[in-house]
Structures are given as structure tokens and as C-alpha cells.
Amino acid sequence: MTIALPRRLLAEFTGTALLVTAVVGSGVMAATLSPDDVGLQLLENSVATAFALGALILIFGPVSGAHLNPVVSAADWFLGRRAGTGLTGRDLGGYVLAQVTGAIAGSVLANLMFDLSAVTLSGKERSGGHLWLGEVVATAGLVLLVFALARSGRAPVAPAAVGAYIGAAYWFTSSTSFANPAVTVGRAFTDTFAGIAPASVPGFVLAQLVGLTVGVALLLALYPGVGAAADRVVVPADRAVPTEQAR
């Protein structure tokens, strides 16, 4: 049984909001606890984000697939079109809207939790070809991971695998691996450790879309039948719970 779209959109909104709350909130806490050590701040931020992301996939995966990322949703829609699987165009539009608004709400929530102004646009410039290349690499790798897991029947390990990948990518990419257009937009609404200046957002989002294209192209080359697995990204929403529980 496919879960009703409004329930899935609520899951995407809430899950993305909590993801951004974790990213921003752990950044604020890291800067407070380790004010003179940027490396330690990044470690604290990345570990909290990785664990939070894994937990959120476990919570919301059985409802919406826990995409929490327009890149994952767009890949799911594109790869599933010919096989008649994955998100429909209507679903995709709803998912992206829920994810972006959820990300903004999550940033506001984190600001309020730490007694900051609800909205303060970030002044942290993040621009340059090397950072955009980092976003291409991070995003392409994420798309490859998520859909390779689904195609090979290993979607149940996605919470741990995706959390581990994002945590690692904080360190091996020059951009600290945003890899998510919704999260990128949300992080513009906080002038804290995890923020990004609004003027830097378009470059990051464009790089993420390039990463999406690269990731999808590699998937089609490596896993030609990957579209058939689009219904299993990240967790199969129509099979994760018995029918009577999904109503």
C-alpha cells in the first residue's frame, strides 16, 4: 500500500527540519564549547550530523522514504520514469517544497533553541571553484550510494551508510559536503558556524545539480536497471509496514 502523499510530505518537512536543526544546533554548540579550535568544531558538527541523519532516516523512511534532499527526490523521479516506479512529477514538486520549507523551519528552530534571533541571514561567504567541485563530488557520491544500495537490495543499511558517508564527506570535500539544495537554502537563515551567505547559495545549488547529473550518469552506466529500484529509496514506503498499520 502506498502511503498518502500528505503524510509523506509531512515526513519530508519534519525530517528535513530536524536535519537542519541538528546541523545548525550542533554547529552552535561546537563553537560554544570549542571556541578556539575550528578542527574540533568541525568534528563535533560532523559527528552530530551523521548520527542525526541516520536516526532521521530510521524514523521517516517507512513513511516517505526519508529523502530529505531534493537531489535524491529528483534522481528518484528521473530514474523511475521508464520503469513506472519512484516519485511522480506531482510527488516530486511536493517533496521539494516540503524539503525546502522544512529546512528553513529547522534553521529557525535551531536559532531559537540557542536564544538567537529567529532569522539572521548568514554572512559566511562560501564561493570558489574548489568549493563547487567539492559539492559536485559530495553530491554525486551521495546519489551513487543511495541508489546502489537500493538496486543491490541493501536499502535497510541506508541509515548507517548515508550517515557515515555524509560524516566522512564533511572531511574529504573542500565544501564540507552540503550535498543538499534544501539544506543549503536553510543554512542561509542562520549566521552561525554552519551558515552560508545567501549570495553563495546559487553556486552551491548549481554544483549540487551538476553532481546529481554526474551521479545519475554513473548509476546508469554501472547499474543499467537501477530505475526498477526507485521505489526502494531510501526505505520502501509501501512495504516498510503492514497494510493495516499504514492506513
- With residues binned 3-state (H G I as helix, E B as strand, rest as coil), the percentages for the chain, rounded to 5, are 70, 0, 30
Does residue 129 have a pLDDT over 60? yes
Domains identified in the chain and CATH numbers: 5-235 (1.20.1080.10)
Could you tell me the end-to-end alpha-carbon distance of the chain, in angstroms, rounded to an integer? 9
Angle at 67 between CA 163 and CA 119, to 5 degrees: 85
Question: Around Cβ 139, how many Cβ atoms within 10 Å?
Answer: 32
pTM: 0.92
Cα atoms found within 13 Å of the Cα of residue 191, Cβ hemisphere only:
9
160-207 pLDDT tens trace:
999 999 999 999 999 999 999 999 999 999 999 999 999 999 999 999
pLDDT for the residue 230 = 80
* Dist. CA 190–CA 45, nearest whole Å: 15
Does residue 238 have a pLDDT over 80? no
Instruction: Verify cis geometry, omega within 30 degrees of 0, for the bond prior to 234.
Output: yes
Nearest to 194 by CA among 24, 16, 7: 24
Judged by average pLDDT, the poorest of 44-53, 85-94, 236-245 is: 236-245
